[in-house]
Amino acid sequence: MQSVLILFAHPIFERSQSHRRLLQALSGLEHVHLHDLYQAYPDFYIDVAHEHELLAQHDHIVMQFPLYWFSTPSLLKEWQDLVLHRWAEANRPSLNVANKTFSLATTTGDPASSYEPKGEFAASLDAIFLPLRLTARYAGFRWQPPFVLTGVNQLDDTGLELAGEAYRDYLLEKVYPHGRPHGHDAPRS
Amino acid sequence: MENDLLLAAFVYLSIAVLAVPLANRFGLGSVLGYLIAGIVIGPFALNLTGGGHSDVLHFAEFGVVLMLFLIGLELQPQVLWKLRKKIVGLGGLQVLLTSLFIAGLAILLGLTWRPALAIGLILALSSTAIVMQSLQEKGWSRGPGGRSAFTVLLFQDIAVIPILAILPLLAIPETIPQVIAHGAPGDGESHTTSVEHGVEHGAEVATSLVAHLPLWAQGLAALVAVVAVVVGSRYLLRPVFRLIASVQSRELFTAFALFLVVAISLLMREIGLSMALGTFLAGVVLADSEYRHELENNIQPFKGLLLGLFFIAVGSSIDFELILGSLQTVLGLTVALLVIKLLVLVVVGYAFDLRGSQLALFTLALAQGGEFAFVLFSFATQNQVLSFEIAGILTAVVALTMLVTPLLLIVYELALLPLLDRLQSEREEDTIDDDEENRVILAGYGAFGTLIGRLLVANRIPTTILDYNPDQIDRMRRFGFKVYYGDATRMELLELAGIAKAELLVVAIGDSDAATRLIEEVAHRHPHVTIIARAADRVHYRELSRAGAHIIVRQYLQSAMFMGQSILQELGFRAFTARRRVQAFARHDIRMLDQLAIEDMDEKSVVTMARKASEQIERALHQDQAYHNPAHALELDDPDDEEQHADLANMPDPSAAPGRTTVS
Whether residue B197 is predicted with pLDDT greater than 60 in this model: the reply is no
Where does CATH 1.20.1530.20 sit in chain B?
2-171+178-420
pLDDT value, residue A189? 42
Q: What percent of chain B has pLDDT over 70?
A: 79
Least confident among A31-40, A125-134, B409-418: B409-418
**What gap in Å lies between CA A83 and CA A91, rounded to an integer?**
12
Note whether A48 contacts B: Cβ–Cβ < 8 A: yes
Q: What is the pLDDT of residues B173-188, one digit of tens each?
A: 554 444 333 433 433 3
**Per-residue pLDDT reduced to its tens digit, B326-380:** 888 888 999 999 999 999 999 999 988 888 888 888 999 999 988 778 778 877 8
Name the amino acid, one letter, at B340: I
Q: Give the whole-angstrom CA distance, residue A55 versus residue A61.
A: 8
Give the chain B residue whose CA is nearest to the CA of A87: B643
Give the residue-averaged pLDDT of B84-88.
86
**Residues whose CB is less than 8 angstroms from the CB of residue B234 and which lie 6 or more positions away in sequence, other chains included:** B285
- The pLDDT score that the predictor gives to residue A18 is 92
Which of the residues A43, A44, A46, A48 would you substitute to probe the B interface, choosing the one with the greatest number of B C-beta atoms within 10 Å?
Answer: A48
pLDDT in the model for residue B505: 93
A49: chain B residues, CB-CB within 8 Å: 642-643, 645-646
Q: Is B545 helix (H, G, I), strand (E, B) or coil?
A: helix
Q: What pLDDT shows up at residue B201?
A: 41
pLDDT band with cut points at 50, 70 and 90 for residue B563: very high
Beta bridge partners of A65: A106
Contact A45 B643 (CB under 8 A): no
Higher pLDDT, B615 or B324: B324
Which chain B residues have a beta carbon less than 8 Å from that of A51? none
**Tens of pLDDT along B387-435?**
888 888 888 898 889 888 888 888 888 888 777 766 654 433 333 344 5
Higher pLDDT, B170 or B435: B170
- With a cut of 50, say whether residue B649 has pLDDT above it: no
Q: Which residue of chain B is at minimal alpha-carbon distance from A83?
A: B642
Q: Is the pLDDT of residue B449 over 60?
A: yes
- Write out chain B residues lying below 8 Å of A46, CB-based: 642
Q: Give the residue among B327, B320, B329 at the shortest CA–CA distance from B109.
A: B329
Span B457-494, pLDDT tens digits: 888 888 888 876 666 666 666 665 667 777 777 777 78
Nearest CA in chain B to A90: B643
Q: For residue B583, what is the nearest residue in chain A, using CA coordinates?
A: A45
Å from A134 to nearest chain B CA?
11
Mean pLDDT of chain B: 76
User: Directed axis angle between helix B2-25 and helix B29-41, to 10°?
Assistant: 130
Mutate to test the interface with B, among A78, A89, A132, A138 (most CBs of B within 10 A): A89
- CATH 3.40.50.720, chain B: domain bounds: 440-645
- What are the φ/ψ torsions at residue B443 (nearest 5 degrees)? -100, 120
**The dihedral of CA B68, B73, B74, B80: what is its sign?**
positive
* Partner-chain contact A85 B645, CB within 8 Å: no
Tens digit of each residue's pLDDT (9 = 90 or more) over B57-77: 777 778 878 888 888 887 778
Chain B contact for A45, CB < 8 A? yes
Question: Does B636 contact A85 at a Cβ distance shorter than 8 Å?
Answer: yes
CATH code of the region B440-645: 3.40.50.720
Q: Cβ–Cβ of A85/B633 closer than 8 Å?
A: no
User: How much is the pLDDT for A75?
Assistant: 96
pLDDT at B565 over 90: yes
pLDDT at A128 over 90: yes
Q: Does B595 touch chain A if contact means CB atoms closer than 8 Å?
A: no
User: At how many degrees (to 10) do helices B113-124 and B92-108 cross?
Assistant: 140
Nearest residue of B to residue A79 by CA position? B639
Tell me the CATH class for B2-171+178-420. Answer: mainly alpha
pLDDT for B635 beyond 80: no
Q: How far is B625 from chain A (nearest CA, A)?
A: 16
- Which parts of B604-664 are beta strand (E)? none
Measured between CB atoms, does B640 come within 8 Å of chain A?
yes
pTM listed for this prediction: 0.52
In the prediction, which pLDDT does B199 show? 37
* Binary contact (B646, A81; C-beta < 8 A): no
What pLDDT sits at residue A9? 96
- How many CB atoms are located within 10 Å of the residue B623 CB? 13
Of A45, A49, A86, the CB nearest to B583: A45
Q: What's the whole-number mean pLDDT along residues A59-73?
A: 95
Chain B residue with minimum CA distance to A135: B634
Q: Tell which A residues from 14 to 33 touch B, by Cβ distance under 8 Å.
A: none
Rounded distance between C-alpha atoms, residue B520 and residue B235, angstroms: 39
Q: What is the pLDDT of residue A146?
A: 95
Residue to substitute from B581, B636, B638, B644, interface A, most A β-carbons within 10 A: B636
**Once rounded to an integer, what is the mean pLDDT over residues A97-117?**
88
Q: What is the pLDDT of residues B40-58, one digit of tens each?
A: 888 777 777 665 556 777 7
Q: Greater confidence, B416 or A160?
A: A160
One DSSP character per residue, A133-163 reads HHHHHHTTEEE-PPEEE--GGG--HHHHHHH
Chain A positions in Cβ-Cβ contact with residue B634 (cut-off 8 Å): 85, 88, 138
